[in-house]
Amino acid sequence: MPELPEVETVRNGLAPAMENAQILRVEQRRPDLRFPFPSRFVERLQGRRILRLERRAKFLAAHLDSGEVLIMHLGMSGRFTVSSVEPAKLGAPGVVKIVPGQFVHASNRITAHDHVVFELSSGVSIKFNDPRRFGYMDLVPLAELATCKHLGALGVEPLSAEFRGDYLATKAFGRKTDLKAFLLDQRVVAGLGNIYVCEALHRARLSPKLKAGSLATKAGGPTQRAERLVVAIREVLLNAIAAGGSTLRDYAQVDGALGYFQHSFRVYGREGDPCVADNCGHPIRRIVQSGRSTFYCSSCQR
DNA sequence: CATGCCCCCTGCACGC
DNA sequence: TGCGTGCAGGGGGCAT
């Protein structure tokens, strides 16, 4: 699920409960997720204080007062749920579930696929639930954070000042791969996934089947396509974050005010629907690239 | 190095 | 109702 806007939304939801809180207790309910948990995982967390919670690409990074950083990846189906340990104390039903940007009431009980539970001094317990177990957690020293195996090869953050047409052109120069696959490559742009690549390409009016190399001129500079793409990626991500991300599954008790960017999709999941671009109306097509669905308008995306 | 394919895992929607 | 098939927001690993 979680692409950059969803992870950013989860970070925003978790940060108030996690930052400056002490980890009182950790329950690790299985030996591995996608990868084994690091050795002595529970012991290295319990008693530590969380200094701050950051997002990098699709990762969450909780900086600890031990000098280590807890890295968390949500994979496809990872979710965090925050519930108050003692609801009465906080004076509310007090139970908040953080799905991509959505806050819904959740039970305090352990349910299927709850793999990790953190109990914090801020009075909440935070559960990590991940049915498919493509997510994972790791602990790395702060000094090695930027170069560790998880973050070391990542490209620039698309919402940072370094993300510009000339950056894309440099990365794309001479590349024969599809523009779609190029943008999904986390070493190029860190945080895009299948949905937002489709949406950005439509907004930039670029075909997902173009060669990535067409973002660079023969001299290696940015083409007009590269500049359009930068603008479109920024715009779609900012709009999605403002909407609290996208939620593709239905939840019984959803706070409708959050996580509604799925209603703003122009192509994703809309095969056969008329293209909403001005004066277009051409039916949206679904094709498969790199083994994943691509939705696009073959008329206005060139 | 770049590229393409398979795989990890569970749940769900759909067709018969 | 039950069952098989295909597909899902990610990305590591391996062959070519």
Q: Mind listing the pLDDT tens digit for each residue in A60-90?
A: 999 999 999 999 999 999 999 888 775 444 4
* Backbone conformation region of residue A75, classed left if phi is above 0, alpha if psi is from -120 to 50, else beta: left
Report, as ranges of residue numbers, the positions in chain A whose pLDDT lies below 70. Answer: 1, 86-107, 249-258
Judge whether A255 and A239 are in contact, CB under 8 Å.
no
Half-sphere exposure of A87 (CA within 13 A, CB side): 11
- The answer to whether A246 CB sits below 7 Å from nucleic acid chain C is yes
Residues 75-134 of A with CB under 7 A from strand C: 75-76, 100, 132, 134
Q: Which of A's residues 62-81 have CB atoms within 7 A of nucleic strand B?
A: 77
Active-site residue identified among A44, A164, A209, A292 = A292
Q: Check residue A145 and report its DSSP letter.
A: G
What pLDDT score was predicted for residue A109? Answer: 84
Measuring from the CA of residue A195 to each C1' atom, give the nucleotide at the shortest distance: C9
| CA A162 from centroid of its chain's CA atoms | 19
- Nucleic strand B near CB of residue A202 (< 7 Å): no
CA distance A124 to A120: 6
CA distance A224 to A302: 13
A177 CB less than 7 Å from any atom of strand B = yes
| Two tokens, residue A14 | 């978790």
Q: Is A15 exposed, middle or buried (0-12, 13-18, 19+ CB in 10 A)?
A: middle
Active site residue A249: no
Which nucleotides on chain B have any atom < 7 A from a protein Cβ? 2-11
Which nucleotides of strand C come closer than 7 angstroms to any CB of the protein?
7-12
C-alpha distances (whole Å) from A249 to each of A3, A37, A92, A136, A291 are: 15, 28, 26, 22, 22
pLDDT tens for each residue of A138-191: 999 999 999 999 999 999 999 999 999 999 999 999 999 999 999 999 999 999
Angstrom distance, A49 CA to C12 C1': 32
Whole-number Å distance, CA A213 to C1' C13?
26
Chain A 16-35 contacts with nucleic strand C (CB below 7 A): 34
Kind and range of the H or E element at A115? strand A114-120
10 Å Cβ neighbour count for A1?
19
Residue A127: active-site member: no
Whether the Cβ atoms of residue A213 and residue A227 lie closer than 8 Å to each other: no
Predicted pLDDT of residue A98: 53
Q: Is the entire prediction scored with pTM above 0.75?
A: yes
Q: Is the CB of A214 under 7 A from strand B?
A: no
Is residue A205 among the annotated active site residues?
no
Q: Which distant-in-sequence residues (6+ apart) come within 8 Å of A139 by Cβ?
A: A38, A41, A44, A45, A68, A69, A70, A71
The predicted structure's pLDDT at residue A86: 59
The active-site residue, picked from A48, A55, A58, A97, is A58
**Active site (annotated) includes residue A3:** yes
| CB A38 under 7 Å to nucleic chain C | no
In the set A2, A5, A158, A222, the catalytic residue is A2
